[in-house]
Amino acid sequence: MTPPLPPRLYRLLRSGGEDTPRSAIALVVGAMILLTAVLMVRVARHHEVRQLGYRLSVAQRRLTEQRELSRNLELERATLVAPERVRVLAGKLGMIPVPADRIRVLGAAERDATPSDAAPSDAAPGGRP
């Protein structure tokens, strides 16, 4: 003969379909774990969205700065290559306009020649006329 079951265990095995306080507690704990997991995923996603938003704002600020720098450099280039400014600076450096009879157009063969191959005809020492 089998030994008799303790009354508590007997009741637990016999009450197969009834809701016991333990099963209710287990259900509540399971629901809390599931809710905690869902909330943690939501917080992680929210944190990721905020990080990406921050990176986007930094990139937009850098783009704005780069556009401003580009605009300033373009303005500076336009100022530096202005013909009147170049004429004034050339005059200060002692440069003068070359007469038309001193201008020589080089062909392709003469252009490709190295400076040692081309002997200056009447150039002054130091490379200045």
User: Does 64 map to a domain?
Assistant: yes
User: Does 74 map to a domain?
Assistant: yes
Q: 68 with 74: CB under 8 angstroms?
A: no
User: Does 13 map to a domain?
Assistant: no
The model scores a pTM over 0.95: no
Of 84, 61, 83, 65, nearest to 73 (Cα)? 65
- Per the structure, the complete domain to which residue 52 belongs is given by 21-95
pLDDT tens column, 73-100: 999 999 999 999 999 999 999 998 888 8
pLDDT tens column, 37-69: 999 999 999 999 999 999 999 999 999 999 999
User: Does 7 map to a domain?
Assistant: no
φ, ψ for residue 25, nearest 5 deg? -65, -45
User: Does 51 map to a domain?
Assistant: yes
Alpha helices in 1-122 (DSSP H): 7-14, 21-80, 83-92, 108-112
The tally of domains found in the chain comes to: 1
18 pLDDT band, cuts 50/70/90, is: low
User: Does 76 map to a domain?
Assistant: yes
User: Does 88 map to a domain?
Assistant: yes
User: Does 9 map to a domain?
Assistant: no
